[in-house]
Structure 1
Amino acid sequence: MSIQNFLELVEIRTKLASILPFFVGVLFSVAYFHQFELGNTLIFFVAMLIFDMTTTAINNLMDYKKAKSKNYKKETNLIGRENISPKLVSIIIITMLAISGLLGIWLVFRSGLALLYMGLLCFIIGIFYTFGPLPLSRLPLGEVFSGVTMGLGIPFIAIYLNVPNSLMDGKALLSILLICIVPIATIANIMLANNLSDYDQDIKNDRKTLPIVIGKGPGLNIYRILVLLGYLAVLLAVLLNLVDWKILVTLLTIPMAIKNTHIFLKKQDKKTTFPTAIKNLVIENVSLIISLIIISIVK
């Protein structure tokens, strides 16, 4: 397998969906708690990224094995298109899973048992998101699990590793939850946009995704709501006096997010309009990250 094929197998271009929430968590630790632990942060970043690549590789392998459309299996899916051995893909998956697992165990020894329970929950959801007789990604639950696991789980763990006592502060927990709605909603929307774009293909492959279960129209309405939900949560956090008002810098990107949303709502296509969902992920989360940096350095 070439490096290019490996990067396509793990869909490296989509890893922003885990990297951006990671930075949200780390910078929230600095901005809100004024704490930062370099060692734990670096170990978690590597473990998280490898595990994200693992779940994506599992997804591609399962899509190949369970595909009912011969055209998809032979021409669309990387494994069939490039004639890659499924056994080799399985070995790569097991290797990456073992590495991320060992790094996770190391972190447990460094930070405490609470991380073990959080990590195990994320591992279970991540694996069964694409693996098993009824993977979560093939059910109308994919948006919920991907959004919450990556959009809340990743920053929450990043914060805990930097500030272990953050779990004991109710006000801090509410602040974390509200701020994390930005990555939760944008990550869920990537999954939703993907399912909306693959609507016809998913019907052929008998996938019961959210748009197929509730209909394409209601799916587009949910997409609209999720685009603005994170912005509303940031505003609410300020109104409740939970975070510094400078986080409102995030709201400056609303016009750009709305513009991208209109483009996608007109046509749902994997190649031409789906990238607008990724652009919104970047726009909303990067503006949130910038606002957290401003809070950290401007007193």
Structure 2
Amino acid sequence: MRIDSFLKLVEIRTKIASMVPLMLGTVYAIYRFDTFNIKNFALLFISLLSFDMVTTAVNNYFDYKRAAKKQGYNYEEHNAIVRDKLGEPLVIMVILLLSCIAVLFGILLYINTNIIVLLVGVLSFAVGIAYSFGPLPISRMPLGEVVSGFFMGFVIVFLSVFVHIYDRDIVLFALEGQSILLRLNAVEVLSIFAFSIPAVCGIANIMLANNICDMEDDIENGRYTLPIYIGKQKALWLFEALYYIAFIDIILLVIFRIVPLTLLLVLLVFVPIKKNIGLFRKTQTKKDTFELAVKNFIIMCGSQLLLLAVSTIGFFVNLL
């Protein structure tokens, strides 16, 4: 398999949707807890990137296998298996290899932390597979936006914070006799969730934009996604509303002192994001305007990441 075919199969450009939450959680851990574990960060990075590529490759493989419509951009150009005439055994081998890498480094991360990482990792792995595999995959239901937003937006952020502070008991799971004890530091967990909301909204909107662009093809291919259930106009309204929720959340994060005052500068990017929303409202195609949702995610969460990273410079200066 050529490298460009592999990168297309795993849609490497979309991996920004998992790497940005990883970095957001990392800088949040440094800012709020004044700690950074480079080994755990590296293990999570490799496991997460590998598994993200697995889910994309599996999704493309089953889209190829289940496709009823075999003409058009989505089938002939967007799917690497068709475009590059990749053999099924080769694609399956790549999926299995990436899965083994993800599992191996996930186990190493668990060994280096605690059972919370294992439990969250197993749940995420199961959801990732269920997203594309099985008699009723999540990607063919009106739940794709909720699941992708929650797991990629919040769960990745949570894990990327937790691997640095696993020994501080913000989440504790233990067996006491015949009882299972689960204890949460509600303030810290809710703070992480609030911090992750822009990522949750941005990633959900990437999925939503994708499904809006694919509505006609999805109907022919038996994918009954959220836009098909609620209609295009309501889906476009939801697409816009999610960005407003993200910016309101930024303001609340500052008010409640979860993040520094400088993060209010994120509000400046509302102007280009609003422009992209307008462009997407006019035309919704995978080829021409889908990337606007990706750009909005990068602009919004990238600025959030950059501004918080600036606030952590003192941590690395002290290390020197």
With structure 1 as the length reference, what TM-score do the two structures score?
Answer: 0.96
The residue type paired with residue 192 of structure 2 is I
Q: Is the contact between residue 10 and residue 54 of structure 2 (CA under 8 Å) also seen in structure 1?
A: yes
Q: Is the contact between residue 246 and residue 294 of structure 1 (CA under 8 Å) also seen in structure 2?
A: no
- Residue in 1 aligned with 2:181? none
- Residue in 2 aligned with 1:149? 151
1:175 aligns with 2:191: yes
The residue type paired with residue 55 of structure 2 is T
CA shift at 1:29, angstroms?
0.4
- Residue in 1 aligned with 2:249? 233
The one of 274, 286, 289 aligned to 1:273: 289
- Residue in 1 aligned with 2:175? none
Q: Which moved more, 1:167-176 or 1:124-133?
A: 167-176
Distance 1:298 1:42, change over 3 A: closer
Q: Does the residue aligned with 2:71 lie in a helix, a strand or coil?
A: helix
1:122 aligns with 2:143: no
- Residue in 2 aligned with 1:75? 76
1:209 aligns with 2:225: yes
Q: Deviations over 1:58-111 (max 9, x none)?
A: 000000111111325973432123221112111110111011001101111100
The residue type paired with residue 280 of structure 2 is F
Please give the alpha-carbon distance, in whole angstroms, between the structure 2 residues aligned to 1:242 and 1:103: 31
The one of 74, 88, 91 aligned to 1:89: 91
Please give the alpha-carbon distance, in whole angstroms, between the structure 2 residues aligned to 1:247 and 1:169: 25
Distance 1:275 1:114, change over 3 A: same
Root-mean-square deviation (CA, aligned residues, Å) is 1.5
CA shift at 1:244, angstroms?
2.3
Q: Does the residue aligned with 1:268 lie in a helix, a strand or coil?
A: coil
Please give the alpha-carbon distance, in whole angstroms, between the structure 2 residues aligned to 1:241 and 1:289: 16
The one of 128, 134, 137 aligned to 2:136: 134
- Residue in 1 aligned with 2:46? 46
Q: Is the contact between residue 47 and residue 105 of structure 2 (CA under 8 Å) also seen in structure 1?
A: yes
The residue type paired with residue 78 of structure 1 is A
Q: Is the contact between residue 260 and residue 308 of structure 2 (CA under 8 Å) also seen in structure 1?
A: no
CA shift at 1:298, angstroms?
6.7
- Residue in 2 aligned with 1:198? 214
The total of aligned residue pairs comes to 299
Please give the alpha-carbon distance, in whole angstroms, between the structure 2 residues aligned to 1:16 and 1:248: 23
Please give the alpha-carbon distance, in whole angstroms, between the structure 2 residues aligned to 1:75 and 1:193: 20
With structure 2 as the length reference, what TM-score do the two structures score?
Answer: 0.90
Structure showing the higher helix proportion among its residues = 1
Residue identity over aligned pairs, in percent, reads 40
Q: Is the contact between residue 179 and residue 230 of structure 1 (CA under 8 Å) also seen in structure 2?
A: no
Q: Deviations over 1:228-263 (max 9, x none)?
A: 211111111222233322222222211111111111
